[in-house]
Amino acid sequence: QVQLVQSGAEVKKPGASVRVSCKASGYTFTNYGISWVRQAPGQGLEWLGWISAYNGHTYYAQKFQGRVTMTTDTSTSTAYMEVTSLISDDTAVYYCARDDALVGTRGFYFDDWGQGTLVTVSS
């Protein structure tokens, strides 16, 4: 069965960076991509962007361009998301979700999610 296991909770100071990992199993990692979604306290779901584990292409939501970097390590079937220049508004639970391998795809829905990683930004 598909499993996405994320790294543990993090506490960071404003201005710092954080990297969250998402280790995939139960499917061929390079046949798919990974999207990242977050939920801040009291807020809704917000999509940050996507990376293809097939070819390494990325697509970032405009709001996060320049501050978020997504990478993959195909040797360990792991996706990573780094957020830099953290502010208090970045306090959220961050989720990874299995997505399609190619940008522009229509109709691929998030049936498989990681358990979430709480990132707290506080001085």
Partner 1 sequence: EILLTQSPATLSLSPGERATLSCRASQTVSTYLAWYQHRPGQAPRLLIYSASNRATGIPARFSGSGSGTDFTLTISSLEPEDFAVYYCQQRFDWPVTFGPGTKLDIK
Interacting residues toward partner 1 by CB under 8 A: 35, 37, 39, 44-47, 49-50, 59, 61-62, 95, 103-111, 113-116
Q: Are 111 and 98 in contact (CB under 8 A)?
A: yes
Please, which residue, 30 or 39, has the CB nearer to partner 1?
39
Which is closer to partner 1, CB of 5 or CB of 16?
A: 5
Tokens of 11: 């506490």
Smallest distance from partner 1 to CB 104, Å: 6
Considering the complex, what minimum distance in angstroms separates the CB of residue 26 from partner 1? 14
Residue 39 vs 71, nearer CB to partner 1: 39
| Cα 19 from Cα 72, distance rounded (Å) | 12
Nearest to 95 by CA among 14, 13, 21, 12: 21
Cβ proximity to partner 1: between 62 and 123 the closer is 62
As measured in angstroms, the least distance from the Cβ of 108 to partner 1 is 6
Q: Is 92 helix (H, G, I), strand (E, B) or coil?
A: strand
Q: How far is the CB of 119 from partner 1 (least distance, A)?
A: 16
Question: What is the distance between the alpha carbons of residues 70 and 56, in angstroms, rounded to a whole number?
Answer: 9
Tell me if 19 sits within 8 A of 82, measured CB to CB: yes
